[in-house]
Amino acid sequence: MKELTLEMALKMIEAASRWARDVAGFPCSIAVVDRSGGLLAVHRMDGAAMATTDVAIEKAYTAVAWGMPTMLGARWIDPRNVGKHIGDHAFGMFGRGKGRLCLIPGGIPVTDEEGEVIGGIGTSGVPAGLGDINDTAVSQAGIVALYEEGDDLRGGEEGP
């Protein structure tokens, strides 16, 4: 798998939406972007708040821009994680990236077999504080869909 396609993005969104509905019990917005952060597909589930769409897109974009889950960025700005030296935090990230960087958990990069980032998925809509039921888990369900048995979306390769 060298790039994300629209077909792959739609499969990810369908799986993530199903998990959000059936497991989390919350309507969400789910977005998938390519390696340059360009939007491939986005879906706002019935009942999801209007703002969740933009936030999901920004989470996916940030995961690609940084090459890591947005959950890690969220930890950088948590005041409990600030070190003893000035600058031991990421507060300076606020407002960077032309306002597109989103330091809220729920964005995950998608990588190829060599670990290169080829895209990202972002979810918004699950309230914080529900433990394992969160936006990140919804995004993970979308990524898992790329690796289901019998899936030919990866160019006919065997599973990982």
Beta carbons of 63 and 107 less than 8 angstroms apart: yes
Question: pTM to 2 decimals?
Answer: 0.84
Give the CATH number of domain 6-68+106-147: 3.30.450.150
pLDDT in tens, 69-111: 998 877 666 666 666 665 555 555 555 556 678 888 999 999 9
Query: Whole-angstrom Cα distance, residue 50 to residue 121?
Result: 18
pLDDT digits (tens, 9 = 90+) for 14-69: 999 999 999 999 999 999 999 999 999 999 999 999 999 999 999 999 999 999 99
Long-range contacts of 141-145 (CB under 8 A, 24+ apart): 141/15, 141/16, 141/18, 141/19, 141/20, 141/23, 142/12, 142/13, 142/15, 142/16, 142/19, 142/30, 142/32, 143/12, 143/108, 143/110, 144/15, 145/11, 145/12, 145/14, 145/15, 145/16
